[in-house]
Structure 1
């Protein structure tokens, strides 16, 4: 049919959106609905790229991905190219990255020590530098830090992701929980990572992406069991019960939207980092508004 042929020729190809995030159970839970096509995304085709957060922070420097998970500590270096979405973030509310050691150490004994860290652009590293500036960082892949501490390659290790829950099983001691310290200092949750979209895409597409991410998070929270079952393939060394606890720590109300308090927390972290000379000036943060 001539009419049908014309329609097929003029039908627009979907816009590909390269979406990068970490291969972790919390991110898998968050993007379950989108990755398994539970959501309708007319006009857009999402391609998922999985990589560790340090690599994603570095990739953002060259705008490798349209949407990327990013450490809040890395955002100031790419704020001219990316804008933060007001959803999809991870906050630690009274918990967060933990410094662990083989032998029991007091927090004040970290000064001058060699400490394994998951990357120099991570929010965990920034928080540790704000707590104790005098230490020697040893960069390791985040999933090798516990092994590094156990094998005495370093004096202590800064643990993120699931390691925050299972380090006691490996015979390690907690030196300090930076989420607790941050809350005591500020009364705010500790901002760890968010999602940012390329400014070049424009605000209209950015808002559509934000809606899709928020819808995916909502679907996961409303279909927790099936989303958790999907996320288990990324749950390193965790059983279902522990994975459920971990997901609950980092996929929650803060992930659906920062709110005023969440935005304040991000601004506070970046302002403190800038004042300490750890982040580039100016200490400005910009979130893509919903309208």
Structure 2
């Protein structure tokens, strides 16, 4: 068996998209997948070190690892009319240099936030601590991600949607890129193709058996939310749109990287298609 380390966040959509494989519902050929659950910023940092074979990453940091990792086409998360939320206390008005809690320096939401609020003073903390930091007054505002966007303290309100920031920066008609998966380039190409196809099958099976999988995830205490809230969240971030990158999603990624290059966050322009696993090899191998 070829052992593959697959790192993902403990977020409900990452768990949902991976655990069909974990539960043995997908044919994995001669591969044995071991999963590692870490928060997204830790995954970003570990990807920069080349730690795991396959890892969830923030799309906003991918240009920093593009020479060591290829982008996978599957298990992607985009917002469409929704996304992370900048929240503050209802009794608070933000100054130009407000202090804000972000879930990590390398997250996509942090990248877009800094482009839009260049004078804000960010501090970085675990995303699970951000809501309370705002409630307590430790920070003036914070960007909520993952399931926390669905339910937060009554003393808080939304100052700005990251979705609205994206539309202002990128224009209408493009989904908001948030996160995806990357695979180490040192793996043989035929192996990388196999792994991508297995993961694609895993997301397809998860969607096809959504109700059954959700019940099992809840019963095994693998997700932080349940029932209607879990269904709502998965409809947002783990759906048919997550199975495989579409042309529109690729266009959105290109716009994200264009914005980053224009603002000198990235050293060179890039087109996302150039960093996908080439499928021509598979077609030749099977011809």
Residues 1:95 and 2:82 are matched in the alignment: yes
Q: Report the RMSD for the aligned CA atoms in angstroms.
A: 1.6
| Structure-1 separation of matches of 2:230 and 2:181 | 22
| Structure-1 separation of matches of 2:229 and 2:88 | 22
Aligned residue number for residue 143 of structure 2:
158
> Which of residues 247, 250, 270 is equivalent to 2:257?
270
Matches for 1:90-129 after TM superposition, within 5 Å: 90-103=77-90, 109=94, 111-129=96-114
Aligned partners of 2:13 and 2:237 also within 8 Å: yes
Deviations 1:202-230 (A, max 9, x none): 32211111111111111111111121123
After TM superposition, give the deviation of residue 99 of structure 1 in Å.
0.2
After TM superposition, give the deviation of residue 273 of structure 1 in Å.
1.3
Gaps of 5+ in 1: 1-13
Distance 1:206 1:111, change over 3 A: farther
User: Greater Rg, structure 1 or structure 2?
Assistant: 1
The 4+ residue runs of structure 1 with deviation greater than 6 A are none
| Structure-2 separation of matches of 1:157 and 1:71 | 18
Aligned residue number for residue 174 of structure 1:
158
Deviating more after overlay: 185-194 vs 84-93: 185-194
Aligned residue number for residue 9 of structure 2:
22
Give the TM-score, by structure 1 length.
0.89
Aligned residue number for residue 218 of structure 1:
204
Deviations 1:19-65 (A, max 9, x none): 00001111111112101111121111101011011011111122111
SS at structure 1 position matched to 2:36: strand
Tell me the number of residue pairs that the alignment of Structure 1 and Structure 2 aligns.
Answer: 274
Aligned partners of 1:21 and 1:53 also within 8 Å: yes
SS at structure 2 position matched to 1:201: coil
Deviating more after overlay: 181-190 vs 46-55: 181-190
| Structure-2 separation of matches of 1:178 and 1:104 | 21
Residues 1:209 and 2:198 are matched in the alignment: no
Aligned residue number for residue 3 of structure 1:
none
Aligned residue number for residue 283 of structure 2:
none
| Structure-2 separation of matches of 1:242 and 1:180 | 23
Matches for 1:1-291 after TM superposition, within 5 Å: 14-103=1-90, 109=94, 111-167=96-152, 169-183=153-167, 185-186=170-171, 187-232=173-218, 233-236=221-224, 238-285=225-272, 286-291=275-280
Gaps of 5+ in 2: 281-287
